[in-house]
Amino acid sequence: MSKTPSDGENTAAKSTAPASAAAPVTEEITLENPIQRGGTEIATLTVRKPTSGELRGVSLAELLQMGVDPLTTVLPRISQPSLTAQEVAQMDPADLVQVGGAVTNFLLPRSAKGET
């Protein structure tokens, strides 16, 4: 007797979703000096791995060097809550370095990070 899907085997159960459909890579960062936005305070910031389109108009070399201008361009595109360029420009330098480190880490290939 040959097996058919009606014999209890679900042929549609196998996932063929591309790897890009996975949840985005994020990092939550606690700011040393929270950002004031009106009456609210932003004490934690979640940044996610940018897509290539979100890097448009930015030199990757400058972004990897954590340049202020590229970070000011990219962070509003990948932060939650979404920061304005002015808020990024007013961030404490220690917080900007911490967030910039997360962004540059997203850009490195797994092999450079010692992952397989």
Per domain, the residue ranges of the chain are 31-109
The residue whose two tokens read 């932003």 is: 42
Closest to 87 in 3D by CA, of 72, 104, 69: 72
Q: pLDDT tens digits for 21-56?
A: 566 799 999 999 999 999 999 999 999 999 999 999
C-alpha 89/C-alpha 79 separation (Å) is 14
**SS percent in the chain: helix, strand, coil, step 5:** 45, 20, 35
Q: Structure pTM? A: 0.76
